[in-house]
Amino acid sequence: MGDFIKFLGTAGARFVVTRQLRASGGVWIAFQGTALHLDPGPGALVRALSSKPPLDPATLSGVALSHRHLDHSGDLNIIVEAMTQGATRVRGHLFVPQDALEGEPVIFRYLREHLEGLHILVEGGEYTLGPLRFATPLRHVHGVETYGFKFFFPQGVVAFVTDTQFTEKLFSAYAGSDVLVIHTLRLERSDHPDLLHLSVPDAELLIREIRPRLAILTHFGMTILRKKPWEVAERLSERCGVPTVAAHDGLVLDLGSLSVRSGKAQGTGG
């Protein structure tokens, strides 16, 4: 498949995840022989192995976690166990916020002993995993310690604006992104203090300000699923003048061309 990013899940809100209306397997990044699994939520192991062609977690070089919430970390331990060959080898790297290791840690202690490297994410941090380079430009406004990512590829920068309340700091943090992946949980904004997530109007502000070559919406809640995310994306494309697509389970971003190709029909899992 060459160098690619594959969406193993596009579920956002707890009810979308618990009912598996969309899968919650996170994102698989493959670049020059190095593979990184980002946010392996519930079902990530099954989604990877049932992918076409299969994606084998035993071949991973690393796992990265934007934050500790269950929809992002549910399969973290089994994915790390697979990466370390059933915890029989010291292998692979884990990139997590500090609070993922504290209180009720989301990664078992015995697995940490089998990692080549355990790396703590910080605002402004820069990281390498073989040929893969990425940064965490900003600590997001969310209920727990949360970071977004900018990945640097020869063809351009692919940014993941993960879970967060909207703030104008996002503009400068993700400036220069060629592909902007936006966790767009809600159809409309909410003033509820517990709903620290981006909405479609927030996504529109980000797209208009940053002007990426391509915007990808993902991490959908119920309100946006009911309105058909692909139709929402089409309207954003028309309003912003930036090609915008709604991710579906199985969507692939080709890192050679920075273009997307479909794994399955829109609105389905896979």
pLDDT digits (tens, 9 = 90+) for 244-263: 999 999 999 999 999 998 76
Per-residue tokens: 132:
């893969």
**pLDDT: which is higher, 270 or 31:** 31
Q: What pLDDT does 189 receive?
A: 82
Q: Which residue blocks in 211-251 are alpha helix, DSSP H?
A: 222-226, 229-240
The CATH code belonging to domain 4-257 is 3.60.15.10
Whole-number percent of the chain with pLDDT over 90: 92
Q: Which amino acid is at 222?
A: M
Give CA–CA dist 6/133, Å, rounded. Answer: 18
| Residue 54: cis peptide before it, omega within 30 degrees of 0 | no
Q: What pLDDT does 212 receive?
A: 99
Q: How far is CA 71 from CA 43, 219, 224, 231, in A?
A: 10, 10, 17, 25
**Which residues 6+ apart lie within 8 Å of 76 measured at CB?**
40, 63, 65, 106, 107
